[in-house]
Structure 1
Amino acid sequence: MTGVITHETAQWQPDSWRSAPTGMQPVWPDEHELPAIIDELHAAPDLVTAGEIDALARGIAQAAAGDALVIHAGECAERFSAVSAADVAARVAQLRELGDELTGKRSPAVVIGRIAGQYAKPRSTTTRLLVRGFSVTEIASYRGDIVNDVAPDRLSRTPDPRRLLRAYHHAAATMSLLRADAVDRAGSRTSVFTSHEALLLQYEEALTRERGGSWLNTGTHLPWVGYRTADPAGGHVRYLSGIGNPVAVKVSAGTSPSTLAEVCARLDPDRRPGRLLLIGRFGADRVAEVLPALADVVRNAGHVPAWVCDPMHGNTFAGPQGRKTRRVADLLREITGFVGALTKMGVPAAGLHLEVTTEPVTECVGGPGGPDAAGLARRYTTTCDPRLNPRQAKFVVAETRRLLLR
């Protein structure tokens, strides 16, 4: 199902994004070092295969038709320090468990991890102020391990292009462990596919190769674009428009129906089932209001996407001491509104997109195993956004299954 190069797309090249306005790209201090690193990435082996990409596209097409469910979950931002056999095995086991929980093992689960490449993070501001006593220092924002380090000092936060290579090698190590897990589970009906936000386009371009008559991003099965970079005329959408992978788009309450229609037209001109995964992140108070018009314009344009609910990013607020958090109750309200709105329209609700961790963190409020607002500090370890701990994640998925099976 990977796309073939047609006359219309023949002029697209992996670097076509460079002629479009493109935000969220780091400014590397040493631009002279970057070309050699990009050349090395160009020569690096593929991380995923065309056959695997096709298998994911078939699964997404099934979910869009209501014949399967998607669980798309994982860390907010992967860390280079978290690539070990034990760590990856725990994350894969969690993904498989959540897939089984969502479907009740009654229908196929399309299991997609934010794994083996989720190293870049978009940030609203490029710098932040570090206050220590009477001293105030401006440092660069943490933008994921692929760009800089989380340690709050100027040296650690300086973008380092060598981290692009480190990201590739950590992703390769993770893929190796994923494949070993698949071999150990020979005969299992559930594969785990990889995904990450295709944010740093120089990195994505370097891993884009012509395979079997199609340009493929060979660094991940499912690249996706966030709501900050989903400009239909922008570089991120232009990049995704030319690759044959299935692609995902974050859709927010601020996305207009006309903008979404244009994004979908650029990414899915052939209206190909399995091409689009649309991830709604509206907020519990807005989902019922804004989703119907968005789903309607997409359907009327002839696209058949899999609509997946991200109940996390639209429900973030500042808790005690300024810690970002989310209420499990709000997540469930958004999921309920999401499923209800699509069900009324006769459009399948295709699954969930969650930020989760295998650790017993206290970052989201409520639910089993979750703290109240005052207890967030007990085990708040995220480098970016608050994640569900294993008990909370399983609870949210189980409640979603009950909604879907009504």
Structure 2
Amino acid sequence: MSAIPTLEQLHALEPQQQPTYPDAGAVDAAVARLRTAPPLVFAGECDDLTEKIAAVTRGEAFLLQGGDCAETFAGVTADNVRNKLRVLLQMAVVLTYAASVPVVKLGRLAGQYAKPRSSDMETRNGVTLPAYRGDAVNGYDFTAEARIPDPQRLVDVYNNSAATLNLVRAFVTGGYADLRQVHTWNTDFVQNSPFGQRYEAVADEIERALTFMKAIGADPDEFHRVDFHSSHEALLLEYEQSLTRIDSRTDAPYNVSAHFVWIGERTRQLDGAHVELLSKIRNPIGIKLGPTTTPDDALAYAARLNPDNTPGRLTFITRFGAGKIRDGLPALVEKVTAEGLNVAWVCDPMHGNTFEASSGYKTRRFDDVIEEVQGFFDVHRSLGTWPGGVHVELTGDDVTECIGGGEEIDEAGLANRYESVCDPRLNRVQSLELSFLVAEMLRKA
């Protein structure tokens, strides 16, 4: 690790997917405010997460990462945060029991306010305006005023992330995440889901195990509280660089905006600014790898981002698409494994399976999501490697954004509750169905 790159050095690398701010003075003011803001997370917490992901790398744990495609400031309410946390904890209980290994819980929250876009501009009814890049950059309303990039929003991201993390910490340490309570949350799902009979046996097994533990007087702290970490895509350089600090314990740089940050598919240029910045921090980090990634690319990323080959430092998050993963993933895994690299493999089954429905809504088929996860497991099983986790865009609400699942949402039904401001998310029932299906795969892994 070396010195933190300056913003000037990063911008000299011509970074992708950055907003063009009209007022340089306002940018300087926002950056100055962020530089003096207290850390959102602590370096020691990041080190703890690195150790947990190291267990994933060794095949001794499974990573569950999930949350909104793009958080919104309006969504920072107690109900929304609780519902997202609740569904992730529900999923983790099922996965933990099925795999008989710890599940590392990583929320895609408290910082996921910016999104890369395929086009800088958006046109509606003959009117062209800057694209919406997330609440961290501009407003969702399709007006010229709302779409102006505003650096004050970076400070708003910090404040809303702080509020979210405060609430999450209160929930996971205050009894809300009690294992026995989390299991009871699944009752309505088991009773009411069209797939309920299929999953009832697993739920009954969990109930018997908890009853047995209570009968023998076992009541460990882990029953009452859980470890939960935050993550987001490290996209906006002004925000990420301003919240990168030197840790007083180690004299090493840490990004204190989240425990885990990742580089997206559109910003993973090997000589680019995002790789440069994240190569200097000591947090555990991830990088999205799509179907254009070659085995040599994977080795180059590992050499640049994890030159010491530290277990838990680097996670490869693959996003091939259901129809491409069985062909594209094996060569990557084989070469990385042959080189002896310590990498956690995680499947993102969402981003390679997006399409536009006939109604105009951006959506995903639940069956495609499951098929990509199944392909991910099949590849790792055939190669004798560990399918380390899943990275999912989801919500704890009853939205209708993805087609299929036990509720049999069709294209016509997307309009009922399509609430995402960016990409479609699995709703609560679909998320739980996913967890049970992945649990079945884990039992065979």
TM-score, normalisation: structure 1: 0.94
| Equivalent residue in structure 1 for 2:81, among 77, 80, 88 | 88
Q: Which 5+ residue runs of structure 2 have no aligned equivalent?
A: 179-220
User: What are the Cα deviations for residues 209-246 of structure 1, in whole angstroms up to 9, with x where unaligned?
Assistant: 00022100001000101111111111001110000000
Over residues 65-90 of structure 1, what are the superposed CA-to-partner deviations in whole Å (9 max), with x where a residue is unaligned? 11111110000000101112222222
Aligned to 1:201: 237
Q: Tell me, what secondary structure is at the counterpart of 1:81? A: helix
User: 1:321 Cα deviation (Å)?
Assistant: 2.2
Structure-1 separation of matches of 2:411 and 2:172: 39
Q: Measure the CA separation in 1 of the matches of 2:5 and 2:146.
A: 34
- Report the Cα distance in structure 2 between the residues aligned to 1:195 and 1:10, rounded to whole angstroms: 23
- Hey, what's the Cα distance between the residues in 1 that align with 2:80 and 2:412? 29
Q: Secondary structure at the match of 2:388?
A: strand
In 2, Cα distance between the equivalents of 1:220 and 1:397? Answer: 25
Alignment check: 8 A CA contact 1:48 1:219 kept: yes
Distance in 2 (CA, whole Å) between partners of 1:250 and 1:370 is: 30
> Which structure: larger Rg?
2
Which structure dedicates a bigger proportion of its chain to strand?
A: 1
1:97 maps to 2:135? no
Partner residue, 2:159: 169
Aligned-pair RMSD on alpha carbons? Answer: 1.4
1-structure distance, mates of 2:45, 2:3: 26
Contact 2:83 / 2:397 at 8 angstroms: preserved in 1?
no
Aligned partners of 1:172 and 1:52: how far apart in 2?
Answer: 15
Question: Which residue of 1 is the match for residue 440 of structure 2?
Answer: 402
Secondary structure of the 1:224 match is: strand
- Cα displacement string for residues 324-376 of structure 1 (whole angstroms, at most 9, x for unaligned residues): 11111111111111101011111100111100011111111111234112221
Contact 1:268 1:303 in 2 (8 A): no
1:5 is aligned to none
- Aligned counterparts of 1:339 and 1:392: Cα–Cα separation in 2: 19
Match of 1:10 in 2: 2
2:325 maps to 1:287:
yes
Aligned counterparts of 1:29 and 1:193: Cα–Cα separation in 2: 35
Once residues 313 and 118 of structure 2 are traced to their aligned partners in structure 1, the CA distance between those partners, rounded to angstroms, is 29
Aligned to 2:260: 222
Q: CA deviation at 1:14?
A: 5.2
Give the one of 34, 39, 45 matched to 1:46. 39
Q: What is the CA–CA distance in structure 2 between the aligned matches of 1:101 and 1:127, rounded to whole Å?
A: 43
- 5 Å-filtered alignment, 1:147-166, equals 147-166=137-156
2:246 aligns with 210
Residue number in structure 1 paired with 2:115: 121
Matched, 1:234 2:272: yes
Counterparts of 2:4 and 2:34, CA distance in 1: 20
The equivalent residue for 2:102 is 108
- Specify the alignment match of 1:390 in structure 2: 428
1:230-288 Cα distance to aligned partner (Å, 9 max, x none): 11111001110000000011111111222221111100000000001111110111101
Inter-partner Cα distance in structure 2 for 1:88 and 1:259? 37
Residue 306 of structure 2 is aligned to residue 243 of structure 1: no
State how far apart, in whole Å, the 2-side matches of 1:99 and 1:14 are: 39
Q: Which residue of 2 aligns with 1:265?
A: 303
1:69 to 42, 62, 71: 62
Residue type of the alignment partner of 2:331 = A
- Deviation track 1:141-190 (CA, whole Å, cap 9, x = no partner) reads 11000001111111111111110110100001111112212330383353
Provide the secondary structure at the position in 1 that maps to 2:245: strand
Give the aligned residue type for 1:190.
Answer: V
Quick check: 301-310 or 15-24, which moved more? 15-24
Normalised TM-score (structure 2): 0.86
CA distance, structure 2, for counterparts of residue 34 and residue 11 of structure 1? 23
Q: Secondary structure at the match of 2:106?
A: strand
- Amino acid in structure 1 at the alignment position of 2:160: H
What fraction of aligned residue pairs are identical, expressed as a percent?
40
For 2:144 and 2:293, locate their aligned partners in 1 and report how far apart those are by CA, in whole Å. 35
Structure 2 distance, partners of 1:352, 1:387, is 14
- 1:20-39 paired onto structure 2 within 5 Å: 20-39=13-32
* Map of 2:343 onto structure 1: 305
State the one-letter code of the partner of 1:49.
F
Secondary structure at the aligned position of 1:241 is classed as helix
Q: Name the one with the larger helix percent.
A: 2
Q: Secondary structure at the match of 2:409?
A: coil
